[in-house]
Amino acid sequence: MDRVWRPLSTLDWPDLTEAFNLVYQGYVVPLALTVALMRQHVEAYDIDLAHSPLWLDGDGAVAALALLAVRGDRGWVGGFGVAPRHRGSGLGHRVASAVQEIASGLRLRAVQLEVLAPNAAAIRTYERAGFRRRRDLQIARRTPAPAAAPSTGIAAADPRALLAHGPRLQRAVPCWQREPSSLRALKGLHGRALGQPDLPDGYLLYRVRDRDLRVVDIAAPDPSAARALAADLAAEQPRCTLMLVNEPEDSMVVPALRAAGWDEVPGQHEMVWDVP
């Protein structure tokens, strides 16, 4: 096993994608990216491949890796895993320590990450490294079902123009993937505005892939506006499974969706390590 990590920037996009998918084999929730999705993940979330560690085993095969993103003096772990054949060897702790050393060298103030609540092994690894649980992030889902006609007063709008109204409408501090800089960089984004698009009373942003629809942001001043936006989307996309991921626990959005017939599924813990 190499004792010194090498940067993920030494890999081309196909090899990086293959390495990422390898360390997520057998994960709590199945995860596999295409090259295009891998590239978008790196670019939208400001992942710094030159400061993201990769380990190879004695045969030159991928053993472990972590993706470290940087925004100003903050860091975020956008991927972390050990290849199946090396799990249980303590390598995960070494990867966490390497991320911390890199963060210290970059003079970051804090590093954050998300971990699925049922993933007890990963949580133990992060806690042992000094990460603490900051808050929970909720996940809600609506399976395809008959819906009423689209709501009046809600219409398609430019998603990036809608983002400018987030500070006025949104109460909960978003997670890394849903910060404005992340959302502006996403491709295939659609927007729905409640009221006038140039001064909306609320908005919803989403992406569609096949029959899966991911809601990436809901900005609403109250539960009724959130419910109206969600009901409108269900009517517009009746054949899609709708998902809202990583909604902060102090947001009123998930309770509003639950009242509208959405199911809440196990979410994630947002954890943070304060750099000494």
Distances (CA, A) of 169 to 165, 232, 261: 6, 18, 23
The CATH number, out of the four listed (3.40.630.30, 3.40.1010.20, 3.40.50.300, 2.90.10.10), of the domain defined by the range 139-267: 3.40.630.30
Whole-angstrom Cα distance, residue 54 to residue 127?
21
Q: How confident is the model at residue 28 (pLDDT cuts 50, 70, 90)?
A: confident
Same fold: 6-130 with 139-267: yes
Residue 1 has pLDDT above 70, yes or no: no
Q: How confident is the model at residue 246 (pLDDT cuts 50, 70, 90)?
A: very high
Identify the CA nearest to 8 among candidates 41, 45, 55: 55
What is the pLDDT averaged over residues 245-261?
90
Kindly provide the b/e burial profile for residues 26-40, where b requires at least 16 CB atoms within 10 angstroms of the residue's own CB.
eeeeeeebeeeebeb
Per residue in 46-69, pLDDT (tens digit) is: 999 999 999 999 889 999 999 999
Residue 176 has pLDDT above 60, yes or no: yes
Return the pLDDT at 148: 65
Q: Which residue has the higher pLDDT, 23 or 236?
A: 23
What is the pLDDT averaged over residues 167-187?
91
Identify the CA nearest to 180 among candidates 170, 192, 166, 190: 166
Per residue in 75-87, pLDDT (tens digit) is: 999 999 999 999 9
Return the pLDDT at 210: 75
* Residues in Cβ contact with 104 at an 8 Å cutoff, skipping those fewer than 6 apart: 275, 276
Identify the CA nearest to 86 among candidates 59, 112, 67, 68: 59
Phi, psi values for residue 49, rounded to 5°: -65, -25
* Three-state secondary structure of 31-58: CCCCHHHHHHHHHHCCECHHHCEEEECC
Contact between residue 92 and residue 55 where contact means Cβ atoms under 8 Å apart: no
DSSP 8-state class, residue 200? E
Rg over CA atoms, the chain: 20
Domain ranges across the chain: 6-130, 139-267
Residue 2 has pLDDT above 80, yes or no: no
Q: How confident is the model at residue 179 (pLDDT cuts 50, 70, 90)?
A: very high
Residue 108 has pLDDT above 70, yes or no: yes
Whose tokens are 């992060």? That residue is 126
**Percent of the chain residues topping a pLDDT of 70:** 97
pTM, two decimals, is 0.92
Q: Which helix (H) or strand (E) holds 173?
A: none
Per residue in 182-210, pLDDT (tens digit) is: 999 999 999 999 999 999 999 999 999 87
Fold of the CATH domain 6-130: Aminopeptidase (3.40.630)
Whole-angstrom Cα distance, residue 222 to residue 201?
10
